[in-house]
Structure formats: C-alpha cells, structure tokens
C-alpha cells in the first residue's frame, strides 16, 4: 500500500495505483480532467495532457519534487507522494496552456455541434480556457467523412485522443481505422474510407470526447439538454442490453451506452440496440438516468419529479380551498417533466 496526498487530502491506495485513480477514489473537484484516458480501455491515456498534476514531493524515500508536470493517468503513486492539482496556480496555468493547444485547430462551432452540452472539450475550455486565441494561422480543415451509414467523422473537431482507435481495437473484431501521418497533419482515417462495420462499432461515438464522431441517426435532431435520458434494458444476445434512451416527448431520439460520473461508458452496447431499437416497446424502462448536477442535461430536474410532485401535493392539501400552489422555479411545470 502507498500513502499519497492530493491537494492536502491523504489516501492509502494499493501499489500500482495511478495518481488519477487515487484522485478518483477521493472524488470531488480535485479529480483532474481527462480527455484521452478511459478506464474501460487498456493502454488509453498519455496523449492529451489535460490530466497533468504537479508532484511537489516524489516519495518518502526521495522527497525531491518532479521537475515538470506529469500526466496523472500514467504516473503511479509512491509512498509519501504529495500532489497538487487545484492548489497549484502554476499547474493551472500549465493546464490552460494544454487547453490552448487543444483548441489551436478546433473550430469551436458548439452552436451547431451535436456534442454540445455533453462535450468534455467544451467543459474543459469553459473551466480552463482563455477567452481569446493567440493563433493567427489558418486552422486545418477536413471534409466530413461518412464511416458507414450510421457514423460521421468530422475531423476538424478531433483532438487525436486515440480512444476510438483503442475501442475499435479492443471492442470490435477487425479494426479498419486509425491515425495516419504525424504532427499537425495527423488524422483519423479509415485508409480507403472503409465502413466501420461490425456489431460494436457504434461505441466509438460514445468514447469520442468531442463531436468528431457523431451518430448520423441523431444528428441535428435536438440539443441534448432538451432530451430526457432514461435507463432501460432489453434481452440482447450480443451485449448486456443495458442502455440509455434519450427521449423527446414520446420519441426515442437516440440510444447510447450508460456513463459513470467520469463520463466513461460503463458497458459497451451493440449496434442493434443502438441503431435499430428506437421504440419504447423495445425496452424495459428502469427510470430517469442519473445525470451529474454540473451537467447542462440535468437542467430540467426531471429526476426529482417524484419528490417535487409529492411536495406540491403536500402544499396543496395544506392550502385553504381554491388557493393554488405557486412553483418555486418558474419554469418547472410537473406536467411537462
């Protein structure tokens, strides 16, 4: 076991734990942001540098600080290590620099991007980005590519996190896409624009932290914050059948895998569940999906509907006959939730 202190909070973790995993065990705001690491994918992490932290004390045996920020997703803890994330202004400045680099070629066309509202880069830029850009050169631009009939690649938005490549490698059989070229001409490519066509290919959409890989059956149908996510399952012979349905009114606009509190997919789902089962009758509905309260998707408060209705009912019973209950949040109408 090793004792590590992150932003003043000490935790004991098994040997071999990374700083990021230790921070996630502590939880809360001190957890560094991640764009390329994904706990369900082997060898992910180490590409984007958003998870960098400052190691102010290497270990009990060798207390020297590390000379520069390290990627927390790839650095294992040592006994007695002391780490700074939010408590180091230098580190936050360094992370702002990383974000600036990530955005150098990024179009930031959030108003027309399907990922808006659930985009890790949007959140990262909001929390760590700078208001303006210092970049004066033309941004690199690519044509959109249809990868099969269900997925579209918009390379302008890709941050080369490699998550989709690792997903195709580890979750599907027969990867037909990857990163070609190096440096600022590197790009995701299917080489000869092969269709990514196998039962689990749709998972690349869920792991993409930005709007580079999007679901063509959902494109431009709705902003995510107007939809209501519900957890549901069905008996599926190919995958666990545990999904998230995104409703607008009675209509299921899209089906995705479920995500944990770190935005990572909990179980891979097959393309049949994702693309072919879009009727409520295909599913057993479990109830509203839990959405992190920091997310714009939670704005409709539907999860607390039951408590809200009970509260209104209690207030209604307590009022003199004929008098109506006024809702605290003007926009909250329980009949519309």
- Residue 232 near ligand FES by CB under 6 A: no
For residue 296, which phi and psi values (nearest 5 degrees)?
Answer: -65, -25
Q: Fill in the per-residue mask, 8 to 37: x = in contact with ligand FES (CB under 6 A), - = not in contact.
A: --------------------------xxxx
What is the smallest separation between the CB atom of 114 and ligand SF4, expressed in angstroms? Answer: 7
The CA-based angle 214-220-226, given to 5 degrees, is 105
Q: Which residue in the set 17, 72, 122, 271 belongs to the binding site for ligand SF4 (CB under 6 A)?
A: 122
By rule CB under 6 A, what count of residues binds ligand FES?
Answer: 13
Q: Which run of H or E residues covers position 55?
A: strand 52-57
Residue 51 interacting partner from ligand FES, ligand SF4, none (CB closer than 5 to 8 Å by kind): ligand FES
In the complex, the smallest distance separating the C-beta of residue 30 from ligand FES, rounded to whole angstroms, is 15
Return the bridge partners of 180, or none: 187
Q: Which is nearer to ligand FES, 46 or 178 (CB)?
A: 46
Is residue 115 close enough to count as binding ligand SF4 by CB under 6 A? yes
**Backbone phi, then psi, for 240, in 5-degree steps?**
-70, -20
Interface characters, 176-205, with ligand SF4 (x: CB under 6 A): ------------x-----------------
User: In this structure, what token pair is assigned to residue 105?
Assistant: 């070629």
- Cβ(159)–Cβ(106) below 8 Å: yes
**CA 85/CA 304 separation, integer angstroms:** 33
CB neighbours of residue 14 within 10 Å: 10
Minimum CB–partner distance for residue 103 and ligand SF4 (Å) = 8
Whose Cβ is closer to ligand SF4: residue 113's or residue 176's?
A: 113
Structure tokens at 143: 């044509």
Verify binding: residue 94, ligand SF4, rule CB under 6 A. no
Which residue, 166, 160, 158, is CA-closest to 44? Answer: 166
Task: Rule CB under 6 A: say whether 227 interacts with ligand SF4.
Answer: no
Q: Does 165 bind ligand FES (CB under 6 A)?
A: no
- Compute the C-alpha angle 276/215/269, nearest 5°: 55
CB of 113 to ligand SF4, least distance (A): 3
- Could you give the CA distance from residue 283 to residue 232 in angstroms, rounded to a whole number? 6
Q: Round to whole Å and give the CA distance between 334 and 337.
A: 5
Widest Cα–Cα separation across the chain: 75
Q: Is 104 helix (H, G, I), strand (E, B) or coil?
A: coil
Asked if 292 is part of the footprint of ligand SF4 (rule: CB under 6 A), the reply reads no
326/174 Cα distance (integer angstroms):
58
Verify binding: residue 164, ligand FES, rule CB under 6 A: no
Output 20 or 207, the one with its CB closest to ligand SF4. 207
- The nearer residue to ligand FES, 45 or 257, going by C-beta atoms, is 45
Q: Are 105 and 156 in contact (CB under 8 A)?
A: yes
State the minimum distance, in angstroms, from the CB of residue 167 to ligand FES. 15
How many residues would you count in the chain? 337
Indicate which of ligand SF4, ligand FES, none lies near residue 147 (CB less than 5 to 8 Å, by partner kind): none
| Binding footprint of ligand SF4 on the chain (CB under 6 A) | 106-110, 113, 115-116, 119, 121-122, 157-164, 188, 207-213
| Binding footprint of ligand FES on the chain (CB under 6 A) | 34-37, 45-51, 71, 73
């Amino acid at each position: 076991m090793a004792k590590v202190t992150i932003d003043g909070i000490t935790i004991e973790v098994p040997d071999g734990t990374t700083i990021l995993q230790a921070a996630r065990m502590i939880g809360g705001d001190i957890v560094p942001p991640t764009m390329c690491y994904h706990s369900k994918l082997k060898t992910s992490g180490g590409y984007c540098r958003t998870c960098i932290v400052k190691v102010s004390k290497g270990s009990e045996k060798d207390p020297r600080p590390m000379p520069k920020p390290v990627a927390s997703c790839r650095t294992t803890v040592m006994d007695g290590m002391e780490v700074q994330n939010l408590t180091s202004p230098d580190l936050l400045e360094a992370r702002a620099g990383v974000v600036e680099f990530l955005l150098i070629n990024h179009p930031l066309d959030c108003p027309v991007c399907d990922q808006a509202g659930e985009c890790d880069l949007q959140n990262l830029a909001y929390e760590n980005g700078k208001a303006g850009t210092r970049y004066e050169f033309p941004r690199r631009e690519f044509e959109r590519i249809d990868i099969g009939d269900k997925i579209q690649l918009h390379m302008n938005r890709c941050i080369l996190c490699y998550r989709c490549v690792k997903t195709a490698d580890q979750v599907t059989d027969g990867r037909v896409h990857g990163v070609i070229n190096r440096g600022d001409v590197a790009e995701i490519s299917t080489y000869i624009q092969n269709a990514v066509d196998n039962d689990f290919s749709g998972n690349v959409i869920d792991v993409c932290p930005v709007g580079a890989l999007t679901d063509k059956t959902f494109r431009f149908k709705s902003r995510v914050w107007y939809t209501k996510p519900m957890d549901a399952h069905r008996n599926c012979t190919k995958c666990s059948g545990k999904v998230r349905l995104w409703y607008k009114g009675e209509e299921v606009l899209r089906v995705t895998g479920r995500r944990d509190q770190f935005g990572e997919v909990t179980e891979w789902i097959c393309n049949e569940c994702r693309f072919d089962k879009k009727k409520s009758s295909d599913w057993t509905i479990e109830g509203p999906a839990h959405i992190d309260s920091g997310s714009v998707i939670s704005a409709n408060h539907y999860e607390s509907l039951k408590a809200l209705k009970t509260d209104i009912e209690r207030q209604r019973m307590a009022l003199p006959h004929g008098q109506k209950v006024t809702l605290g949040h003007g926009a909250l109408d329980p009949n519309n939730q």
